[in-house]
């Protein structure tokens, strides 16, 4: 029974594992690459607002927002929300309104140093009946009563009420869209098809309300939004990835990631730094290095995460320090589908520089279930 | 001397001398208890398992929404998901399909499929989610994947990766066994697949069977249930698990209670045996007790002694019975499942659960009836006048008190009154009480009957002949009627029960046979192996069938399930062409049907089964509403135009015009067709044409004679358990005959010694005993027949209509009754003879001297 329970939970979990796991894991699970799906190619020109919306012809797509909030008592608080759209290989000829052609998966997490660990909730549903969808044309994603909508004026509205935590935020852009890779084509590995379309919206001004046990708290802050879609999957040698997105105090925005080889070496890496004036600097894989500064061992999974990370982008040396150590997304200890997703502060060449979110995946060995 | 020591001496002494009688009494009690306890255990195990299995798959929902028909439009689903009082809504599509490999076994070829949305189900009924063991989690969404419970896999002999061919309507669908349903109940055969795939592959697009709901925090379930039902209107039912339980309970209750009652009858027979054993023992020990009284034993002590003896008998018998009952139930459940041939609890494999409460109840019952059987003899023994009791030959006087007729007559009168009472909780409680009182009354009146009968017989035969042996036998029976009646009682009780059961079952069977003739007027019937409520023969397929040569008439019919009351099982609606002026041509109408001229304007006629009258209060001329037609449209009026007999569906059935149904619902499909052949056409010819139809794979073609034979086979199987009970009654009855005869003849050892002393030869004494036994049995069988016939009237005309809501005609199985009567008489005579041989083997001189 216990075994079974864990399998059921596991099924549930598979659908909520964010970013890299979905990209790699789910895609590797489908029987055959469906011909209806498109692959990511260079030289595609992103157009807005069209590309704010969903791209049904690609396997997977997500809208991901993280940020630092401040309560009225000046207490810091981190949040992360993600909406995934995932195209299944279900026969498109099925006229049933229940046909699970697309899945919508959403994820909500709060990092409160006063609590000392991550609070999180997740949901999954098949698209249909107007209950769950990711619309084309502009950002408009819904999963039951969880919604993420981009208004005409560019502002994002987030409304997500879970059992214990909830968010009602408005995210207002203060800077133009940042096209990763320069034109929105973001390579994820040595092979050209290992890529995604990817843009970010850094320095979103946040106002709104955070709910905990149904108690509202007014918050303000600054957020970062990523929108990424792709069909091809990660290199089969990939083990996991380390990613950071940060709003810097001087108005700059930094995004960097490295994809780790199973042997621990660097398979691929990338970084982009845009200053307040809008000048974008892109770094080649050999210019970007991630070096663990301090590790934290999870008491739940025994996984060891480099929660404090030193990142070199060209000549610049960044040091990432977590808001608190235990930001492991401990969805279920028995399955091992656990990763670290946390609020961090950054220094640039030893000087305080800004705040962001660090994501560390693939550190729990039991991952390949 | 301590009283305990005395008790032991008396008890052990008595039992040592009359071990057989004590054993018979114990066995009788044990058999009655065993039967009752095992039936209870089997039924409660089956019922609980069925109920749990049903609830298991609907998970922990607060409420369920169902349609009044088996399926409803999925449009309701998003409305419920977005309802502010509803936290979670889980859509389920449930239907049966026929497994192609099992097609030939029409009784056991269906598999229930649950179409679910795993992302919704996980929060309400996680057990209804398929699990693939090779790690491919999203396979649950594949449109060719099906997940089977372990019992279903075992039944179908498939494993993960195998292909499974399933038939629904006229099409065959091939699915891949993608994994298991590990948490299905043991023995539960069920399959799960994605709801979108199920709707598409099995042609149920746009339909749901139910939506399971979890309410938002702080919502009062009872209040919300009412308000939601109002919101949704009359085409939907809002159900909580209590309703579901009530539904399952209603489905099988009459069956279960009636089986338990039969077990009680066996126990009652056992109690009577204890009574006769105790009475005989009292008589035998009359002088012993008188002597003890003279020696200073008080009345209370004597009373206690006799009651204690009864307690020991009852305790041993009941404990044995409990053990035997448990063993029987465990064996039966292991080898035959919990169904007992009733068909109510198929598809589950229950485990036996020992219930202390039930065990205690049956123990007390066993002990109670034993004490009841001992009470009267104990009272008599304690109150006997000491001086006459010390004398020999006073035995018959002892029984005079027992023969006071008034309580017996009171019993009979009350029994008569009880037959007039209505059912209690839809159960024929008073009918059963009337049967018990009738038996008690008649048995108590036995001595009178026996004295009257044998005195009259003696008077007549003295005039005609003077042969010594028959005269002796007759005068003995005429002048010691109380002792004779004890032996008689055993025969009477068991024979009357057999007669009653036999008449009831025969009446039922003959009525069912007649009824089958009426409801199967066509020569051949064609139906789809599985069509559920949706699907069936579409118009083009109907035309193809109509075009078959050699058919003089073709009647299509549409059958579907309707929920009129969520706490009751569904009723069946049958739409077919009916002649409004003479519906009795194809419907087994009882009494007069309403003439079509008197149908109220605008009302459509319906003909309802007897169960609709009992359960829903329908009467001829009633105007009623049925949840047919499209939601939101003005409800159509129906008028009850006739009542018909239905042995097929005890929960109610309604017939209506097919044209009315199609006009109302727009549903053009039909499930079955009746074919009348032209006189010069051979049925093989039509069969061949049918088999050549493109959709012939899914057809079940049968001749009406085959259906009739199969139905009667099912009938006989359902009554198999009553045949078993009759056998038990026969065994108990014969044991009673043996016990009472042997004890009486032993008690008469002195009489036989005297007869030998005055010159009778042994052969003559044997003859006398055989004559006595035979004569007694003749009277017992005769009275047993009268009593059994009376009981059968109660069973046929009160118990059956009240339990199952159908009536039947009385039919008597003369051949069988005569056969059993002969067996009874012969076995009684033989037993008397055998007992006599033993009595006469003793020492004549000693016995005479003793006297």
Q: Decide if B693 touches A, using CB distance below 8 A.
A: no
Domain range list for chain A: 2-367
The torsion angles phi and psi of B660, rounded to 5 degrees, stand at -60, -45
Q: Decide if B183 touches A, using CB distance below 8 A.
A: yes
Lowest-confidence region among A15-24, A266-275, B70-79, B789-798: A15-24
Across B465-485, average pLDDT? 69
Q: What share of chain B in percent tops pLDDT 90?
A: 6
Q: Decide if B118 touches A, using CB distance below 8 A.
A: yes
CA distances (Å), origin B583, targets A335, B20, B656, B816:
66, 63, 10, 37
Asked if the model's pLDDT at residue B319 lies above 60, the reply is yes
* Residue contact B81–A131, C-beta within 8 A: yes
Q: Decide if B838 touches A, using CB distance below 8 A.
A: no
Q: Decide if A1 touches B, using CB distance below 8 A.
A: yes
pLDDT digits (tens, 9 = 90+) for B535-583: 678 888 888 888 888 888 888 888 888 888 877 888 888 888 888 888 8
Q: Which residue has the tokens 């089964």?
A: B609
Both structure tokens of B276: 């006769």
Architecture of domain A2-367: Beta Barrel (2.40)
pLDDT digits (tens, 9 = 90+) for B149-165: 888 888 888 888 899 98
pLDDT digits (tens, 9 = 90+) for B664-688: 888 888 888 888 888 887 878 888 8
Bridge partners of A206, per DSSP, are A171, A221
- Computed over every residue of chain B, the mean pLDDT equals 79
Higher pLDDT, B586 or A168: A168
- Distance, in Å, from the CA atom of B348 to the CA atom of B25, rounded to the nearest integer, reads 38
Say if residues B659 and B581 touch (Cβ distance below 8 Å). Answer: no
- Distance, in Å, from the CA atom of B275 to the CA atom of B372, rounded to the nearest integer, reads 8
Instruction: For residue A83, give the nearest of A52, A66, A59, A107 by alpha carbon.
Output: A107
> Out of A89, A96, A124, whose CB is closest to B205?
A96
* Residue contact A4–B182, C-beta within 8 A: yes
> Out of A8, A100, A130, whose CB is closest to B141?
A100
Instruction: For residue A256, give the nearest of A290, A223, A279, A222 by alpha carbon.
Output: A290
- Nearest chain B alpha carbon to A146: B82
* Residue contact B77–A129, C-beta within 8 A: yes
Helix, strand or coil for residue A219?
strand
| Amino acid A210: pLDDT | 95
The torsion angles phi and psi of B713, rounded to 5 degrees, stand at -65, -45
* Residue contact B131–A11, C-beta within 8 A: yes
| Amino acid A148: pLDDT | 96
Across B591-619, average pLDDT? 86
Task: Specify whether the backbone of B147 is left (phi greater than 0), alpha (psi in -120 to 50) or beta.
Answer: beta
Q: Decide if A59 touches B, using CB distance below 8 A.
A: no
* Residue contact A99–B197, C-beta within 8 A: yes
Q: Which residue has the tokens 């669908």?
A: B173
Asked if the model's pLDDT at residue A310 lies above 90, the reply is yes
Asked if the model's pLDDT at residue B320 lies above 50, the reply is yes
| Amino acid B603: pLDDT | 84
Higher pLDDT, A19 or B783: B783
Name residues whose C-beta falls within 8 Å of residue B343's C-beta, 6 or more positions apart in sequence: B714, B718
Beta strands in B117-248 (DSSP E): 145-148, 163-168, 171-180, 191-194, 207-208, 210-215, 236-239
Asked if the model's pLDDT at residue B108 lies above 80, the reply is no
Q: What share of chain B in percent tops pLDDT 70?
A: 78
Both structure tokens of B13: 């002494």
Asked if the model's pLDDT at residue B806 lies above 50, the reply is yes
Chain B CB contacts of A131 below 8 Å: 78, 81-82
Say if residues B211 and B76 touch (Cβ distance below 8 Å). Answer: yes
| Amino acid B276: pLDDT | 67
CA distance A253 to chain B (A): 37
CA distance A145 to chain B (A): 8
The torsion angles phi and psi of B752, rounded to 5 degrees, stand at -65, -40
Q: What share of chain A in percent tops pLDDT 70?
A: 86
- Distance, in Å, from the CA atom of B569 to the CA atom of B564, rounded to the nearest integer, reads 9
- Listed by number, the residues of chain B in 88-117 with a beta carbon closer than 8 Å to a beta carbon of chain A are 91, 117
Say if residues A292 and A286 touch (Cβ distance below 8 Å). Answer: no
Higher pLDDT, B136 or B400: B136
* Residue contact A11–B140, C-beta within 8 A: yes
Residue length, chain B?
Answer: 851
Chain B CB contacts of A369 below 8 Å: 135
Say if residues A33 and B156 touch (Cβ distance below 8 Å). Answer: no
> Out of A8, A88, A126, whose CB is closest to B117?
A126
Return the CA Rg of chain A: 19
- Listed by number, the residues of chain A in 117-146 with a beta carbon closer than 8 Å to a beta carbon of chain B are 124-126, 129-131, 144
| Amino acid B490: pLDDT | 66
| Amino acid A26: pLDDT | 40
Q: How many CB pairs under 8 A join A and B?
A: 84
* CB burial readout B593-603, b (16+ within 10 A) else e: bbeeeebeeee
Name residues whose C-beta falls within 8 Å of residue B617's C-beta, 6 or more positions apart in sequence: none
Q: Decide if B167 touches A, using CB distance below 8 A.
A: no
* Residue contact B131–A95, C-beta within 8 A: no
Asked if the model's pLDDT at residue B129 lies above 70, the reply is yes
Both structure tokens of B837: 């041989």
Helix, strand or coil for residue B617?
coil
Asked if the model's pLDDT at residue A248 lies above 80, the reply is yes
Asked if the model's pLDDT at residue B393 lies above 60, the reply is no
* Residue contact B122–A11, C-beta within 8 A: yes
pLDDT digits (tens, 9 = 90+) for A338-369: 789 999 999 998 899 999 999 998 887 533 32
Residue A16: band (very low, low, confident or very high) from pLDDT cuts 50, 70, 90 = very low
* Residue contact B141–A30, C-beta within 8 A: no
> Out of A90, A124, A129, whose CB is closest to B78?
A129
- Nearest chain A alpha carbon to B140: A11
Q: Decide if B216 touches A, using CB distance below 8 A.
A: no
Q: Most A CBs within 10 Å: which of B76, B82, B129, B143, as the mutation test of the A interface?
A: B143
CA distance B154 to chain A (A): 20
- ∠ CA A311-A312-A316, nearest 5°, is 120
- Distance, in Å, from the CA atom of B488 to the CA atom of B772, rounded to the nearest integer, reads 11
| Amino acid A211: pLDDT | 93
Q: Decide if B52 touches A, using CB distance below 8 A.
A: no
Q: Most B CBs within 10 Å: which of A3, A60, A98, A164, as the mutation test of the B interface?
A: A98
Name residues whose C-beta falls within 8 Å of residue B325's C-beta, 6 or more positions apart in sequence: B33, B34, B35, B36, B37, B38, B40, B41, B362
Chain A CB contacts of B140 below 8 Å: 11
Asked if the model's pLDDT at residue A17 lies above 60, the reply is no
Higher pLDDT, B786 or A10: B786
* Residue contact B131–A90, C-beta within 8 A: no
- Distance, in Å, from the CA atom of B609 to the CA atom of B806, rounded to the nearest integer, reads 8
CA distance A125 to chain B (A): 6
Across B385-400, average pLDDT? 56
Lowest-confidence region among A102-111, A286-295, B37-46, B130-139: B130-139
Instruction: For residue B18, give the nearest of B266, B268, B276 by alpha carbon.
Output: B276
| Amino acid A229: pLDDT | 93
């Amino acid at each position: 029974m216990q075994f079974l329970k864990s399998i059921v939970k596991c099924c549930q979990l598979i659908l909520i594992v964010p970013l890299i796991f979905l990209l790699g894991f789910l895609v590797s699970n489908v029987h055959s690459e469906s011909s209806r799906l498109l692959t990511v190619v260079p030289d595609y020109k992103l157009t807005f607002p069209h590309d704010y919306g969903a791209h049904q012809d690609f396997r997977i797509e997500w809208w991901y927002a993280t940020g630092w909030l401040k309560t009225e008592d000046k207490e810091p608080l981190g949040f992360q929300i993600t909406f995934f759209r995932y195209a299944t290989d279900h026969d498109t000829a099925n006229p049933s309104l229940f046909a699970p052609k697309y899945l919508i998966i959403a994820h909500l997490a709060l990092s409160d140093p006063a609590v000392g660990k991550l609070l999180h909730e997740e949901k999954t549903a098949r698209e249909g009946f107007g209950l769950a969808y990711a619309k084309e044309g502009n950002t408009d994603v819904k999963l039951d009563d969880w919604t993420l909508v981009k208004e005409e004026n560019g502002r994002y509205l987030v409304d997500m009420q879970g059992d214990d935590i909830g968010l009602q935020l408005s995210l207002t852009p203060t800077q133009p869209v940042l096209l990763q890779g320069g034109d929105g084509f973001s390579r994820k590995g040595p092979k050209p098809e290992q890529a995604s379309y990817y843009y970010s919206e850094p320095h979103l001004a946040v106002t709104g309300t955070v709910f905990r046990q149904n108690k509202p708290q007014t918050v303000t802050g600054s957020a970062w939004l990523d929108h990424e879609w792709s069909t091809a999957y990660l290199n089969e040698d990939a083990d996991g990835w380390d990613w950071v997105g940060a709003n810097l105090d001087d108005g700059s925005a930094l995004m960097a990631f490295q994809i780790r080889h199973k042997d621990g070496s660097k398979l691929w890496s990338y970084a982009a730094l845009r200053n307040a004036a809008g000048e974008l600097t892109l770094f080649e894989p050999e210019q970007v290095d991630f070096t663990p500064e301090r590790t934290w061992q999870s008491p739940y999974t025994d996984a060891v995460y480099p929660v404090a990370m030193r990142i070199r982008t060209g000549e610049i040396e960044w040091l990432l320090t977590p808001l608190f150590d235990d930001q492991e997304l401990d969805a279920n200890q028995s399955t091992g589908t656990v990763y670290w997703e946390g609020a961090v502060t950054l220094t640039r060449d030893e000087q305080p520089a800004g705040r962001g979110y660090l994501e560390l995946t693939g550190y729990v060995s039991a991952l390949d279930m | 001397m301590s009283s305990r020591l005395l008790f032991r001496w008396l008890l052990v002494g008595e039992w040592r001398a009359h071990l057989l009688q004590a054993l018979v009494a114990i066995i009788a009690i044990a058999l009655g208890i065993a039967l009752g306890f095992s039936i209870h255990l089997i039924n409660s195990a089956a019922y609980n398992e069925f109920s749990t299995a049903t609830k298991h798959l609907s998970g922990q929902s607060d409420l369920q929404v169902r349609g009044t028909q088996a399926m409803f439009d999925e449009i309701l689903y998003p409305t419920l998901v977005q309802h502010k009082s509803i936290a979670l809504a889980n859509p389920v599509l449930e239907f049966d399909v026929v497994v192609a490999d099992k097609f030939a076994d029409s009784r056991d070829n269906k598999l229930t499929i649950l179409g679910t949305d795993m992302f919704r189900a996980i929060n309400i009924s996680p057990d209804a989610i398929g699990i693939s063991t090779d790690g491919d989690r999203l396979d649950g969404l594949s449109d060719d994947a099906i997940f089977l419970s372990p019992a279903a896999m075992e039944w179908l002999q498939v494993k993960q990766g195998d292909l499974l061919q399933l038939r629904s309507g006229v099409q065959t669908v091939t699915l891949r066994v993608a994994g298991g349903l590990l948490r299905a109940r043991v023995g539960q055969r069920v399959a799960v697949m994605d709801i979108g795939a199920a709707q598409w592959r099995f042609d149920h697009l746009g339909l749901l069977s139910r939506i399971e709901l979890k309410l938002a925090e702080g919502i009062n379930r009872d209040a919300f249930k009412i308000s939601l039902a109002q919101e949704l209107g009359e085409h939907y039912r809002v159900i909580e698990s209590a309703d579901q339980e009530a539904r399952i309970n209603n489905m099988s209750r009459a069956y279960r209670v009636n089986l338990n009652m039969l077990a009680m009858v066996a126990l009652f027979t056992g109690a009577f045996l204890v009574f006769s054993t105790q009475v005989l023992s009292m008589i035998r020990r009359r002088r012993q007790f008188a002597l003890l009284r003279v020696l200073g034993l008080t009345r209370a002590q004597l009373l206690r002694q006799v009651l204690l003896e009864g307690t020991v008998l009852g305790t041993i018998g009941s404990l044995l019975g409990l053990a035997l009952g448990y063993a029987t139930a465990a064996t039966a459940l292991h080898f035959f499942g919990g169904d007992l041939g009733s068909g109510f609890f198929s598809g589950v494999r229950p485990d036996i659960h020992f219930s202390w409460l039930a065990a205690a109840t049956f123990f007390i019952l066993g002990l109670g009836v034993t004490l009841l059987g001992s009470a009267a003899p104990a009272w008599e023994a304690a109150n006997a006048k000491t001086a006459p009791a010390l004398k020999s030959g006073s035995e018959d006087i002892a029984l005079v008190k027992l023969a006071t007729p008034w309580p017996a007559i009171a019993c009979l009168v009350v029994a008569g009154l009880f037959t007039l009472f209505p059912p209690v909780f839809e159960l024929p409680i008073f009918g059963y009480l009337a049967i018990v009182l009738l038996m008690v009354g008649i048995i108590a009146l036995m001595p009178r009957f026996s004295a009257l009968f044998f005195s009259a017989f003696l008077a007549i035969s003295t005039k005609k002949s003077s042969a010594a042996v028959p005269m002796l036998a007759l005068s003995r029976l005429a002048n010691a009627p109380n002792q004779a009646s004890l032996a008689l009682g055993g025969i009477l009780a068991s024979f009357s029960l057999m007669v009653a059961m036999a008449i009831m079952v025969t009446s039922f069977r003959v009525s069912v046979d007649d009824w089958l003739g009426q409801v199967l007027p066509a020569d051949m019937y064609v139906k789809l192996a599985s069509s559920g409520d949706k699907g069936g023969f579409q118009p083009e397929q109907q035309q193809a069938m109509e075009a078959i040569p050699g058919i003089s008439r073709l009647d299509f019919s549409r059958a579907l399930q309707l929920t009129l009351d969520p706490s009751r099982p569904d009723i069946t609606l049958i739409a077919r062409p009916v002649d409004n002026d003479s519906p009795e041509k194809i419907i087994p109408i009882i009494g007069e049907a309403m003439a079509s001229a008197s149908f109220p304007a605008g009302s459509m006629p319906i003909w309802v089964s007897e169960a609709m009258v009992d359960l829903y209060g329908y009467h001829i001329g009633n105007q009623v509403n049925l949840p047919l037609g499209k939601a939101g449209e003005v409800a159509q009026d129906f008028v009850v135009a006739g009542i018909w007999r239905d042995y097929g569906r005890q929960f109610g059935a309604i017939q209506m015009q097919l044209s009315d149904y199609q006009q109302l619902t727009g549903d053009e499909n039909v499930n079955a067709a009746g074919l009348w052949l032209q006189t010069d056409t051979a049925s093989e010819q039509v069969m061949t044409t049918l088999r050549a139809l493109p959709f012939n794979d899914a057809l079940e073609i049968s001749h009406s004679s085959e259906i009739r034979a199969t139905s009667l086979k099912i009938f006989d199987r359902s009554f198999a358990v009553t045949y078993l009970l009759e056998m038990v009654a026969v065994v108990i009855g014969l044991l009673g005959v043996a016990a009472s005869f042997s004890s009486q003849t032993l008690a008469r050892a002195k009489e036989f010694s005297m007869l030998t002393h005055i010159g009778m030869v042994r052969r003559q004494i044997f003859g006398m005993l055989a004559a006595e036994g035979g004569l007694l049995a003749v009277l017992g069988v005769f009275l047993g027949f009268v009593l059994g016939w009376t009981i059968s009237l109660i069973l046929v005309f009160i118990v059956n209509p009240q339990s199952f809501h159908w009536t039947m005609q009385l039919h008597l199985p003369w051949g069988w009754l005569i056969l059993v009567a002969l067996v009874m008489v012969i076995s009684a005579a033989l037993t008397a003879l055998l007992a006599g041989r033993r009595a006469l083997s003793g020492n004549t001189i000693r016995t005479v001297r003793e006297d």
